[in-house]
């Protein structure tokens, strides 16, 4: 297996940009396309291969762009189609790829399709959304809940029926059992593919088809009372067998074009997750694997998950790993600064395409968002439970100035207080910064097929230490990660172990020889080139 037999999205690293928060070129406090464009030199310098942009389409912004009112346009906040084309062409000129967010499960209630659909029960677009008569007691048709609190059914006075919304009432779910809906969305995909985009990250893809009989969801026996959404299992609202049909049709649209890819957002246990590759590879190219986000951070849990995932993948299923995104508390806040470095080593040495979330490479934490600055409906609708996602969406820290180099205006979310000590300007020339660590890891992964496409072999899990090997055509790397704060010694009983440290979390052991045993400080990880 050589590098040239692999696609860009297999060899490469994906970098997620949340456009509202990356860089604001026009000073209105919200990031935009020209802002992203102005920072492409940074993205290229970092060494990643693809940029995934969270939604940039016209939207009332009830869910910050995940409520789309036109699938084939650009929100004026972000710029114009011309700005988009210019960005895409710059990305390509730098040898990188651009992946757009596609949100096919639901539109905005301000989309022309929904405006028509709600007009009358006989409107030709009525069946484009999911309408049901009231339940026997006059209330919602069943017990399905919205991810953002309350019933998932919204009553519409004008026509006396309810429509289904898995998220906000302003995000009605499209009816993917309807052929016209499918054709319309495939055309929207072609609109962007024709312009040259390299693929899509598909929002909540496992939600796209719901039970045809609208049966109640069963109670969740493990419900802890924390997030009210989890009172019921998602038995009849997500992961329905028919969704694979839809996905294979979407895949066929992508396959009309060379070298495009789609990665699906799916929060499911591994056995279910891997079914999204399709029975013979006709599913998504990659179902996002969120285990590094959802599992407890310790050597036992993580190594078990890696081995389990490796074993569960179908022969044609390319793996991937994610450390963070715009919906999850940032890795540095979840595991602390020291382990965030260990996490970087893990993400960039595991087998499978890594997806990074902007700002994690400079060690950003969740920002502080005082109650009067809260914007996320997840927090506004279900307050005080820590469900809000504003903290992980605060603006990027480019420098230590009051507005962090993000904007000249008033930032839409507060700039985190620690931007004066964690920012690109400060870290880029600091030989021991987490940014330098990320760059070294990325450069090594790019250089060494053993790390990007090579085989994975578990070496050992012992106490707080997880060790594995990556190899390709005679080149071998041993990765040893200490998930705990205490110093320890790794014994090379399992494989012959002699080599040189290629990268280490503390950035002070590069080139050092190791043989037989490797001493590790607390929170230290090393990548050893064996041989």
Q: Which residues are catalytic?
A: 203, 256
CB of 203 to ligand GLC, least distance (A): 5
Q: Closest approach of Cβ 103 to ligand GLC, in Å?
A: 6
Neighbours of 158 (CB within 10 A): 9
> Across the strands, what pairs with 519?
489
Minimum gap (Å) between residue 452 Cβ and ligand GLC: 26
According to DSSP, the β-strands at 97-102 and 199-202 are parallel
Here the tokens at position 338 are 């020291």
Q: What is the per-residue binding string for ligand GLC in 253-282, x denoting contact by CB under 6 A?
A: ------------x-----------------
How near is the Cβ of 264 to ligand GLC at its closest, in Å? Answer: 11
Q: How far apart are CA 213 and CA 208, in angstroms?
A: 15
Among 204, 250, 286, 413, binds ligand GLC (CB under 6 A): 204
Smallest distance from ligand GLC to CB 81, Å: 23
Distance CA 500, CA 503 (A): 9
Cα–Cα distance, 263 to 365 (Å, whole number):
26
Task: Please state the separation of Cα 410 from the chain's center in Å.
Answer: 27
CB of 56 to ligand GLC, least distance (A): 14
Q: How many residues bind ligand GLC (CB under 6 A)?
A: 9
Footprint (CB under 6 A) of ligand GLC, residues 96-115:
103
The least CB distance from residue 171 to ligand GLC, in Å, is: 6
Question: CB of 404 within 8 A of CB of 425?
Answer: no
Task: Report the sign of the C-alpha dihedral through residues 411, 343, 482, 300, in that order.
Answer: positive
**Shortest Å, Cβ 208 to ligand GLC:** 12
Q: Give the per-residue SS3 of 451-495.
A: HHCCEEEEEEEECCEEEEEEEECCEEEEEEEECCCCCEEEECCCC
**Binders of ligand GLC among 173-202, rule CB under 6 A?**
none
Round to whole Å and give the CA distance between 92 and 291. 31
Of 101 and 523, CB closest to ligand GLC: 101
Cβ(330)–Cβ(359) below 8 Å: yes
Residue with Cβ nearer ligand GLC (210 or 326) = 326
Q: CB of residue 63 vs ligand GLC: minimum separation in angstroms?
A: 5
DSSP string, 156-206: ETTTTEEEE-SS-TTSPBB-TTSHHHHHHHHHHHHHHHHHT--EEEETTGG
Whichever of 65 and 352 has its CB closer to ligand GLC, that residue is 65
- Residues in contact with 459: Cβ distance below 8 Å, sequence separation at least 6, in sequence order: 467, 468, 469, 478, 494, 495
Options 327, 418, 420, 425; binder of ligand GLC; rule CB under 6 A: 327
Residue-wise DSSP of 191-249: HHHHHT--EEEETTGGGS---TT-PPPPB-TT--SSSGGGGB--TTTS--TTHHHHHHH
The binder of ligand GLC chosen from 32, 63, 173, 366 (CB under 6 A): 63
Any alpha helices (H) in 389-452, and if so which ranges? 424-427, 434-447, 449-452
Q: Which is nearer to ligand GLC, 360 or 427 (CB)?
A: 360
Q: Any contact of residue 206 with ligand GLC (CB under 6 A)?
A: no
The residue of the chain with the least Cβ separation from ligand GLC equals 66
Q: Site residues for ligand GLC, window 138-177 (CB under 6 A)?
A: 167
Element containing residue 253 per DSSP (H, E) = helix 243-255
Nearer to ligand GLC, 216 or 327 (CB): 327
Task: Copy the structure tokens of residue 21.
Answer: 């928060």
Residues 6+ apart with CB under 8 A from 249: 182, 186
The residue count of the chain comes to 531
- Token readout for 475 is 């080149």
In the chain the first and final C-alpha atoms are separated, in Å, by 21
By CB under 6 A, name the one of 9, 66, 232, 358 that touches ligand GLC: 66
Q: 99 in helix, strand or coil?
A: strand
User: Which residues bind to ligand GLC, rule: CB under 6 A?
Assistant: 63, 66, 103, 167, 203-204, 265, 326-327
């Amino acid at each position: 297996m050589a590098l040239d037999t692999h696609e860009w999205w297999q060899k490469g690293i994906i970098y997620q940009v949340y456009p509202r928060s990356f860089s604001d070129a026009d000073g209105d406090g919200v990031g935009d396309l020209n802002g992203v464009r102005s920072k492409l030199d940074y993205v290229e310098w970092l060494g990643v291969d693809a940029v995934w942009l969270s939604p940039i389409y016209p939207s009332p912004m009830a869910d910050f762009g995940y409520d789309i009112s036109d699938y084939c346009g650009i929100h004026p906040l972000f710029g114009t189609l011309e700005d988009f084309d210019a960005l895409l062409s710059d990305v390509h000129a730098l040898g990188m790829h651009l992946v757009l967010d596609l949100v096919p499960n639901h539109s905005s209630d301000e989309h022309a399709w929904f405006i028509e659909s709600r007009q009358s029960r006989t409107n030709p677009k009525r069946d484009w959304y999911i309408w049901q008569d009231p339940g026997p007691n006059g209330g919602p048709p069943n017990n399905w809940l919205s991810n953002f609190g309350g019933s998932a059914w919204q009553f519409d006075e004008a026509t006396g029926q309810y429509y289904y919304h898995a998220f906000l009432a302003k995000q009605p779910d499209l009816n993917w059992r309807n052929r016209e809906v499918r054709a319309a969305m495939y055309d929207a995909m072609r609109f962007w593919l024709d312009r040259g985009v390299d693929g899509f990250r598909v929002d909540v893809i496992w939600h796209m088809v719901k039970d045809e009989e609208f049966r109640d969801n069963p109670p969740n026996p493990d419900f802890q009372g924390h997030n009210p959404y989890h009172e019921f299992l998602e038995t009849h609202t997500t992961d329905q067998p028919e969704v694979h049909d839809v996905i294979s049709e979407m895949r066929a649209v992508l396959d009309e074009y060379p070298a495009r890819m789609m990665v699906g957002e799916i929060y499911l246990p591994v056995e279910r997750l891997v079914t999204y590759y399709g029975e013979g590879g006709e599913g998504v190219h990659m179902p996002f694997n969120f285990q590094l986000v959802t599992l407890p951070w310790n050597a036992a849990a993580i190594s078990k998950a890696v081995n389990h995932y490796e074993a569960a993948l179908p022969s044609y299923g390319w793996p991937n790993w994610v450390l963070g995104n715009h919906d999850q508390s940032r890795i540095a806040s979840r595991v602390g600064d020291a382990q965030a470095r260990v996490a970087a080593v893990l993400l960039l040495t595991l087998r499978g395409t890594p997806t990074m979330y902007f700002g994690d490479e400079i060690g950003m934490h969740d920002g502080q968002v005082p109650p009067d600055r809260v914007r996320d409906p997840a927090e506004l609708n279900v307050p005080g439970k820590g469900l809000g996602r504003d903290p992980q969406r605060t603006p990027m820290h480019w420098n230590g100035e009051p507005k962090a180099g993000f904007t000249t205006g008033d930032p839409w979310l507060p700039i985190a207080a620690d931007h004066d000590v964690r920012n690109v300007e400060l870290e880029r020339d600091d030989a021991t910064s987490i940014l330098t660590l990320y760059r070294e890891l990325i450069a090594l992964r790019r250089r060494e097929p053993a790390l990007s496409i090579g085989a994975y072999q578990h070496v050992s899990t012992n106490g707080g230490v997880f060790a594995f090997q990556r190899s390709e055509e005679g080149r071998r790397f041993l990765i040893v990660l200490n998930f705990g704060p205490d110093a320890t010694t790794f014994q090379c009983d399992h494989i012959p172990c002699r080599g040189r440290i290629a990268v280490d979390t503390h950035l002070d052991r590069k080139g050092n020889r190791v043989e037989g045993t490797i001493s590790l400080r607390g929170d230290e990880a090393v990548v050893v080139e064996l041989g």
